[in-house]
Amino acid sequence: MQTLTSLEAGQRAPDFKPKGSAGEPVTLSEHLGQAHVVRCFHPLAFSRVCSHHLPRVQAVLPRIQALGAVVYGISVDSHHANAEFARKLKLGLPLLSDFRREASAAYGVLIPEAGYSGRTAFVVDRQGRAAYKDVSPTPCRIPDTEQIVKALEALA
């Protein structure tokens, strides 16, 4: 896997308009000034590792929400596939479709030769700046959800 050059702490997080599970557009800017945003990029719905990654995020979702944050999973899958994947895993966090790979490219996590993103977590503060990132060096390593919670606690 190639080394990704991604968004760094303190940089303004790119805004984009991916589709949620029902096909509705979702933007970072709608949360500015109101909530921190956790963006969990994952390569593909229904893959073995992603099927473990997102439930780990789901497990800490109440703690993340208590710290004033919202969480989105993001993959290159269609919003239809994401809806079914979320239903199958019983996820309470929205999954967004980066079908055109715009978000993955903007955040610097797209692996062009693979056609999907690296497994990465970003915490974006209420002002729209990156506060934390965890870029997995391998497709099988899942970002540490406890570190995501700690990053949000530091913003409180």
Count how many domains the chain has: 1
Domain assignment present for 3: no
Rounded to two decimals, the pTM is 0.92
- What's the CA gap between 51 and 142, in Å, rounded? 11
Per-residue model confidence as pLDDT tens digits over 5-43: 578 889 999 988 888 888 888 888 999 999 999 999 999
CATH number at residue 123: 3.40.30.10
Q: For residue 43, give its domain range.
A: 31-155
Is it the case that residue 3 has pLDDT exceeding 80?
no
- What's the CA gap between 147 and 22, in Å, rounded? 30
